[in-house]
Structure 1
């Protein structure tokens, strides 16, 4: 019996070591894939703070928390199973689905640009603050769905040759790390002015001066981030569309951008990144403007 127990313990230890090795592999892969998706993660962080503009301070963190929970549902309950199923039965469908997201982001970005240029802001038709908040959260989660899909598909492409369990483990870890990172940063940003106000009312002269500086700077910081978010939607949307068109056989637009990048390669990676980003942004704006024009000319039901 002792020999049997020892053998059982050896088997348990072997299983534990194998599981630990798998966990390490998942963590390593998740770190690498998150780095590959870093550009979209930054865009997601830039886009998110605009959804709490004009919200009372007491509701900022609860709204960010609601959006974060919706983002986690997007990634794990919607995108993850769909992505895994599609890679197994219809891998060709991933690119068209992503391109639909690119069209949506381009449209949203173009709408924001038009509001900025024209000085018009969409008026909410909701009658209560609670309903306004629900509408805001739904809009934020919808936009997050597109960006989350891009992050998850980029990550999935990095582990395309691994087993389905490794893919699932990596994507779950990416979803958790990215969501906590993005919305933790967003929560910190939107409460920075409150922290500054608290500092300005206590502590020494240095702390008070720093607190007053935070309070005066945060509106400009959030406004800047809002601009970044607007352009990020156009950049990401345009990039998705250019890359998707290339993968579907329409190579000319992507090859044109690549040729422009080639002309500035001698100036370094920053120059090629800037060219690619500007081309994606302009393309996203052009496509978004066409969609916005069509949408605004569609007949709408008057109540």
Structure 2
């Protein structure tokens, strides 16, 4: 009896150890989605009354938990009944990440500052219009953010599933649940902090302490720059992560990446650092090309459907 209990405890410890290790790997692979998730959700909350920012973030976080409660069992079902679908789903997720990255770049370079300023002015006028139902506007923002979260959560779960494809069912369940909880709490906790940076800056600026006032001024100055930095880092990570998925899924690209990394790694003194850098840059380049091709295909199909309509 005692030996059976010890064996059970040993099995549980082994599973927990596997879950911890694989969760760390999955978290690293989903870093690109995390960066974009942070920037996107912080932008979604912009325009909301400052008193309602935290309730809105909490509402979207609850929606995100519901999304993952749907996605985790679905992912486990795929791994059990159609495991061959994991790699194609990963490739689709990787291509979508690259497409999103290219879409962001295209919007940045193909839209003028005047167009962006006009769009911003329209939003400000809508918010200041007394005939606008702010509750309805807030609900629409929450629904839109939850829909966006579903796509990003699906990418996170699929990438994590690929990490634990050969693990036992219990380990898969543990990793997916751990990633779902950590990512949701981490993302929306940080989003809540980001959207309140300017409020904290204003509060400190109104204190009598010169030091606190300087810190407040710094926070007010840093808040918009932090948003831009998150957007840039998130976009770059999307190419690296999405391209990395495609490189690992296509044998020819994988061999090219290994060859380039080995060539760079052979360089004296800096080879140990240069090898991984070249591999990452190769993945980013593949992601950029793949994203551009998907963007062209989607744009062409959209125009074709509009002509037919």
| TM-score range normalised by the length of the shorter chain | 0.7 to 0.9
Which residue is 2:138 aligned to?
A: 130
1:156 to 164, 174, 192: 164
The answer to whether residue 238 in structure 2 is matched with residue 218 in structure 1 is: no
What corresponds to 1:35 in structure 2? 24
Partner residue in 1 for 2:193: 188
Per-residue deviation, 1:22: 5.6
**Alignment partners' CA distance in 1, 2:196 and 2:141:** 18
Match of 1:6 in 2: none
Q: Provide the TM-score with structure 2 as the length reference.
A: 0.76
Aligned length: 283
Query: Counterpart of 2:58?
Result: 65
Indicate whether 1:208 and 2:198 are aligned.
Answer: no
Residue 196 of structure 2 aligns to a residue in which SS?
A: helix
Q: CA RMSD in A?
A: 3.4
Change (3 A) 1:278 1:105: closer
Alignment of 1:1-303 (within 5 A): 24-48=13-37, 49-53=39-43, 54-56=46-48, 57-78=50-71, 80-119=72-111, 129-130=137-138, 132-157=140-165, 160-162=166-168, 164-202=169-207, 204-244=209-249, 246=250, 251-265=251-265, 266=267, 267-269=271-273, 270-300=276-306
Q: Which string of whole-angstrom CA distances, capped at 9 and with x for unpartnered residues, describes residues 162-213 of structure 1?
A: 3x23332332223212322232223222222222222222262212211210
Stretches of structure 2 that go unaligned for 5 or more consecutive residues are 127-131
Q: TM-score, normalised by structure 1?
A: 0.78
Task: Write out per-residue CA displacement over residues 211-232 of structure 1, whole angstroms, 9 at most, x where no aligned residue.
Answer: 2101111101111111222233
| CA separation of 1:148 and 1:58: change in aligned 2, threshold 3 A | farther
Q: Confirm or deny: 8 A CA contact 1:193 1:218 kept in the other structure.
A: yes
Is the partner of 1:35 in helix, strand or coil? helix
- Unaligned 5+ residue runs, structure 1? 1-9
Corresponding residue for 1:5?
Answer: none
Q: Against the structure 1 CA distance between its residues 291 and 243, is the aligned structure 2 distance closer, same or farther, given a 3 Å change threshold? A: farther
- Cα gap change, 1:214 to 1:85, in 2 (>3 Å): same
Structure 1 residue 18: Cα displacement: 6.8
